[in-house]
Amino acid sequence: MRCKIGALVFLPLIALLLVGRPVSASPFVATTAKSALVMEAHSGQVLGDKELHRKQPIASMVKLMTLLLAVEAVEQGKVQLTDRVTASEEAARMGGSQIFLAPQEVMTFRELLIAVATASANDASVAVAEHVAGSTEAFVSAMNARARALGMENTRYVNPTGLPDGEQYSTAYDQALLLREALRHPLFRELAQIKEHSLRGGKFQLFNTNKLLWWYQGTIAGKTGWTEEAGYCLASAAQRKGLTLVVVVLGCPEPRSHFRESIKLYNWGFSQYQALTLMPEGERVATLPVERGKEDRVDVLIGREVVVVVPRGHDKGITQEAELPHCLVAPVRRGDRVGYWVVKQDGEEKLRVPLVAASEVAETDFYTLWNKVWRRFTKGV
């Protein structure tokens, strides 16, 4: 029988059979921010918002993209954290928040990233951009390309620092998408949680501008921004009891109000929603036959942890099922997506997580394939 790749295999449903009526979340909390949102990081669902697509300046929150591109460059092996970077004239003349780089001063790439993540240093941001892409112009082009790839439809970058420019803007929603992606990278999370750091042999001290690291339990990342045009801005993330929330506030009116408004939104989000961890990453959920492979079967695993976020009290009627073909055709690579694990609530889809092949199955040669066919034939005689 030929393999029907388009067919679906539905595994037995795993239901949360609980009794009771679902409870909806309360209305979104009022905020003085011009625009704001609360997003849950697992699926990217927006839980509450205020003018989430309003275009406006975001000041130094631009550096979230600077950090993401730098972290990805390290992961891809294009640059190393130990690289020694020489500050250019352009980097040294940056104003605003800075570490006062001198022309030709040398720092490691890691030190520059820490300066960007903690002190929001403009000079360090330019030095990072030049080291990754060769020039700020090339780096800005990469920033905009990455934004498009992430679905940030209402964002335009002009520089890697966030210094004022009328053509540079974003939205609360786009910045939440960006921070959610950045959180996937361990190096970014490490940098974002550094509260203080010493440079130049202890002669220069850096303190993280994201005061939620001190003030709000569970904070795991954040990037502030402020200019006269942008007001006080903050994109941050916090985690409690398995629930990770991303909160963005833009255009807050007075000093520290971006922290106050963020805490207000976190308190609302954590009080109204809960995370249900349904399946661990790497759990085996099926075994599929493989045609024309050196092995006849391959295990299928959950590609990432299955977590559903629901209003508190609204944890009834949840079912899970696998969408899989009847079989696969070699070659199959380890980690290949072969289907989806679908979570529904009251029949409505809530989450779709990739299912992946647990191991590689190489395509068989003609001689081995002929032997397999012959064995099957003789067994059937």
Q: Which of 35, 97, 120, 125 is catalytic?
A: 120
What's the rounded Cα separation, in Å, for the pair 277 and 14?
A: 13
Query: Is 372 designated active site?
Result: no
Are 247 and 237 contacting, i.e. CB atoms less than 8 angstroms apart? yes
Nearest to 14 by CA among 214, 334, 279, 192: 279
Residue 341 host element (H or E): strand 337-345
**C-alpha pair distances (Å), 118 with each of 55, 91, 121, 165:** 26, 18, 8, 23
Q: Which residues face 286 on adjacent strands? A: 300
Amino acid, res. 253: P
What's the rounded Cα separation, in Å, for the pair 59 and 226?
A: 5
Q: Which of 34, 35, 50, 60 is catalytic?
A: 60
Amino acid, res. 13: L
Structure tokens at 47: 């839980």
Q: Which of 63, 223, 264, 344 is catalytic?
A: 63
Nearest to 353 by CA among 285, 274, 273, 288: 285
Query: Is 120 designated active site?
Result: yes
Query: Is 379 designated active site?
Result: no
Kindly report the length of the chain: 381
Are 289 and 328 contacting, i.e. CB atoms less than 8 angstroms apart? yes
15 Ramachandran zone, left/alpha/beta (phi>0; psi -120 to 50): beta
Q: What are the catalytic residues?
A: 60, 63, 120
